[in-house]
Structure 1
Amino acid sequence: MSDDVKAGVAAAKAALAGVPAEPGAPKQDAILTATGVRRAFGGLVAVDVAHIEVQRGAITALIGPNGAGKTTFFNLLTGFDRPSRGSWEFDGRRADRMRSYQVARSGMVRTFQLTKALSRMTVLENMLIGADRQRGERLWAAPFRWLWLKEEAQNAARALDLLERFKLADKRDHYAGELSGGQRKLLEMARALMLKPKMIMLDEPMAGVNPALKQSLLEHIKDLREEGMTVLFVEHDMDMVHEIADWVAVMAAGQLITEGTPDQISADQRVIDAYLGAHHDAAQH
């Protein structure tokens, strides 16, 4: 582990030291704060989070059994769905009324459980559409190539740098649909970084990824923290959570039931009950 990575890990752990292992625990420097967020589909309440804060500069895992509401919560926070009620702030600005593209422009970018790579576009083209506010895309500016030529070159250079970093440079001219599931995950993460986000939200980044690429993805996520980004990710693999998460928030039946360090969460009876339920009770008798 490099000195920079060690410093990033130490800073995140220091910021979270002393934070109580309880749902909605206040953080020293929260980049995201959500209160009273509820989403109901008819009579089914999918999300009902009273309060949550996400520590700036840390890697936070959001875990819970299937159907806990994790992805729905992500969709709400990033403007891909609308809450029945509730409010949240990102980096000091109210974000609950923003559309998804406005959320991304504000610095909070997310990936999806099922990757959204545009399969009939090349890998490089997928990267370039991730760049924001491109002059060449404006109708009035399109004929005046000199206005956006330099910007286009800068975006292409950044895209190629990111593809090199994610070991996809040799795939730049391949169609995204030709990539493996793991490579598409890498592409989606790289594309998200085109916006230079303050916070990146990863929805099950390891789902469908073969073991050979898992470690690579883990290292990339750690690198995000080293670069000063905040990471919030949904994951079921507790080995991965223990390896990279500074903090863990646990959802069950739409609610945030507890928070804490990975070690605290692993020993928390509320978490054991949420995951195992009646099977766990039966094993005790």
Structure 2
Amino acid sequence: MSSSAGANGAPVKSTGLHVGEPAPGVKKVDPIIVADGIKRQFGGLTAVDVEHLEIPRGAITALIGPNGAGKTTLFNLLTGFDKPNEGTWTFDGQSISGVPAFRVARKGQVRTFQLTKALGLLTVLDNMKLGAKGQSGESLARALFPWFWRKEEEAIEERALDLLARFKLDGKKDDYAASLSGGQRKLLEMARALMSEPTLVMLDEPMAGVNPALTQSLLDHILNLKKEGMTVLFVEHDMHMVRHIADWVVVMAEGRVVAEGDPHEVMANPAVIDAYLGSHHDQDLGEPDTDVVTAIKELAHDDADESKH
């Protein structure tokens, strides 16, 4: 445990990933993303209204919340797929406010989607090759002279095959991506994201639509990203998965961050349960996800039991 001086000169405790008591907008020891005053409105609806948010480097952070909480919209803003009405944010110390998605990806921040974006009429191997950045052959002038980029192309293919083997998709390398199952497409999208050797990987509901037989495989791959030095930020509704792999949890409701903290503590936070149940909110959050609410209650109960022993 370390300490630093606060605004009033008093020492501020640093515990693990954060500095001070865990609360919405809490400062992190080493943030990779710092966002301030991000607001996104659609007509009269405010989808995202985040005052301050920091994502810790080298950790797995889960972004959770009821349907319509603004999680995917925030993802779209941070990755350049959408523009906010106001607000600024940095990635790895550099401002990327308003930077288009392809430039954000080149800086080392890549994402996957809830609905996979594999190019169905290309083979699995060709999909992988598309993920590599800075390819000389993409230049019109150099494309006319294959000897300039042939060795680079061979190195890209070798890396693609290595990743496909790691994700157990090497046997599908010559198949069209459209022939893959939903879970296999999730694996392909994650593997393709790694082709760019990213610093931060953002996963939008990686378990959605995945056959239970592939769930553990996906979990292991996400954990491996952290072991290899990458930061992971993911949106997920499976609370058991969140508690199993997340180091930090950010909870959104009605576009705002309502809680942050260790997964075990967050699951027992009344504000989190209230956000899912919607019992104390003036605005209707829609029908709560029964499975999520039940899971949160079960996990909170499990944590309470564990603390007694």
Give TM-score scaled by structure 1 length: 0.92
**Correspondence 1:186-201 to 2 at 5 A:** 186-201=187-202
User: Whole-Å Cα distance in 1 between the matches of residues 18 and 52 of structure 2?
Assistant: 20
Deviations 1:192-232 (CA, angstroms, capped at 9, x unpaired): 00000000000000000011100000000000000000000
Equivalents in 2 of 1:155, 1:177: separation in Å? 22
Structure whose alpha-carbon radius of gyration is higher: 2
**CA distance in structure 2 between the partners assigned to 1:164 and 1:43 by the alignment:** 48
Tell me if structure 1 keeps the 8 A contact 2:62–2:249.
yes
Do the aligned residues in 1 keep the contact of 2:19 with 2:28 (CA within 8 Å)? no
- The letter of the residue matching 2:72 is T
> What amino acid is the match of 1:268?
N
Instruction: State which drifts further: 13-22 or 113-122.
Output: 13-22
Question: CA separation in 2, counterparts of 1:153 and 1:138?
Answer: 17
- SS of equivalent to 1:115: coil
Hey, what does 2:42 align to over in structure 1? 41
**What residue is the counterpart of 2:239 in the other structure?**
238
Q: Distance in 1 between matches of 2:95 and 2:16?
A: 23
The change in CA–CA distance for 1:26 and 1:169 in structure 2 (over 3 A counts) is: same
Return the letter of the residue paired with 1:259.
E
Equivalent residue number for residue 273 of structure 1: 274
SS in 2 for 1:243: helix
Is 1:218 paired with 2:219?
yes
Q: Distance in 2 between matches of 1:224 and 1:248?
A: 17
Unaligned runs of 5+ in 1: 1-12, 281-285
List gaps (5 residues or longer) in structure 2: 1-13, 282-309
CA distance 1:19–1:111, shift in 2 (3 Å): farther
Over 3 Å counting, the alpha-carbon distance change for 1:18 and 1:135 in structure 2 is closer
Give 1:17 deviation, angstroms.
Answer: 6.1
Q: SS at 1:195's partner residue?
A: coil
Q: How many equivalent residue pairs?
A: 268
1:7 paired residue number: none
After TM superposition, give the deviation of residue 16 of structure 1 in Å: 1.9
* Aligned equivalents of 1:136, 1:209: Cα separation in 2: 35
Instruction: Supply the AA of the counterpart residue of 1:195.
Output: S
CA distance in 2, matches of 1:19, 1:211: 39
| One-letter amino acid of the counterpart of residue 178, structure 1 | S
Alignment of 1:71-82 (within 5 A): 71-82=72-83
1:78–1:108 Cα contact (<8 Å) kept: yes
**CA-to-partner distance for each residue in 1:88-140, whole Å, 9 max, x for gaps?**
00001001121101100111100000000000000000000111121112111
* Native 8 Å contact 2:65 2:71 kept in 1: yes
- Residues 60-114 of structure 1 show CA distances to partners (whole Å, capped at 9, x for unaligned) of 0000000000000000000000000000000010011211011001111000000
Per-residue CA shift, 1:161-208, capped at 9, x if unaligned? 000000000000000000000000000000000000000000000000
Conserved 8 A contact 2:129-2:160: yes
RMSD: 1.4
AA paired with 1:58?
A
Q: Which amino acid aligns with 1:198?
A: T
Contact 1:21 1:264 (C-alpha < 8 Å) held by counterparts:
no
Deviation at 1:14, TM superposition (A): 6.4
Q: Assess, with a 3 A threshold, how the Cα gap between structure 1 residues 68 and 151 changes in structure 2: closer, same or farther.
A: same
- What is the correspondence of 1:1-285 to structure 2 with a 5 Å cutoff? 15-16=16-17, 19-278=20-279
In 1, Cα distance between equivalents of 2:120 and 2:97: 31
Per-residue deviation at 1:20?
A: 2.1
Deviations 1:15-61 (A, max 9, x none): 32665220000000001000000000111100000000011000000
The secondary structure found in structure 2 opposite 1:121 is coil
- Relative to structure 1, the CA distance from residue 254 to residue 279 in structure 2 (aligned partners, 3 Å threshold; closer, same or farther) is closer
Does structure 1 retain, via aligned residues, the 8 Å contact 2:17–2:30?
no
Contact 1:68 1:253 in 2 (8 A): yes
1:189 and 1:17 map into 2 onto residues whose CA distance is 28
Using the TM superposition, give the Cα deviation of residue 143 of structure 1 relative to its aligned residue in structure 2, in angstroms: 1.3
- Distance in 1, matches of 2:180 and 2:220, equals 20
Kindly provide the amino acid, as one letter, of the partner of residue 246 in structure 1.
D
2-structure distance, mates of 1:15, 1:93? 24
